[in-house]
Amino acid sequence: MKALTTLSAWIFGLAMIGLAFFVTADVIARKFFSFSFEGTGEMGGYILAVGAELTFVVALTQRAHMRIDVLYARLPVALRAVLDWVSLVTLAAMALLMAMLGWQMLRDSISYHSTAQTPWATPLAWPQSFWLASLALFALVALWQLALASRALVARRWEELNARFGSAGEKDEIEAELADLERRR
């Protein structure tokens, strides 16, 4: 899972760097050569759409999704484990719904031969295919995490469920920051 998370982060990071170079080239071309690629906004939208889903994968596997956990730390371990499992159920359901709706959108774009209303007139099936692939990846990772959490829940391994799928506490975050600082030295 770590390799998949790392790959997702690298793909998104490289795509953002590529987009930054493309935008810079477009700005320079407009300023000095009165020429524009006329597609920086379109390209940026596609990269952000795919990248958002890739970062969902990273956030899920790194336990970095936002949670309101004012009372969470004060609850009994078993109740926290059940809440962690419920949060994974809802996240997986949302990921599946997004993938299903993404598939319907792609199917319609293919059926209607839809193109972007931009100077490039990109066939929408192309960027939507990448977007759907990233949605499907997020859904698969969420389902995998849910399966692992369900196994721990059924076995009543509350501490394991909390440690692997629960909200990262202040202590966990401090330890992660210290480990990252030590790694960079």
Going by the DSSP 8-state scheme, the letter that residue 88 receives in this structure is H
- Number of domains into which the chain is organized: 1
Encoded tokens for 151: 């196994």
| Mean pLDDT on 131-158 | 96
Residues 159, 122 contacting (CB under 8 angstroms): no
Give Cβ neighbours of residue 75 (< 8 Å, ≥ 6 apart).
83
C-alpha 135/C-alpha 99 separation (Å) is: 5
Whether 2 has a pLDDT exceeding 90, the answer reads no
State which residues form the domain around 100: 2-184
- With residues binned 3-state (H G I as helix, E B as strand, rest as coil), the percentages for the chain, rounded to 5, are 80, 0, 20
Whether 176 has a pLDDT exceeding 80, the answer reads no
Give Cβ neighbours of residue 28 (< 8 Å, ≥ 6 apart).
none
Whether 173 has a pLDDT exceeding 80, the answer reads no
For residue 23, the tally of other CB atoms under 10 A from its CB is 15
C-alpha 7/C-alpha 51 separation (Å) is: 12
| pTM: predicted TM-score of the whole model, two decimal places | 0.85
**Which one-letter amino acid corresponds to residue 161?**
L
C-alpha 161/C-alpha 80 separation (Å) is: 9
Q: Taking all residues of the chain, what is their mean pLDDT, rounded to a whole number?
A: 91
Whether 49 has a pLDDT exceeding 80, the answer reads yes
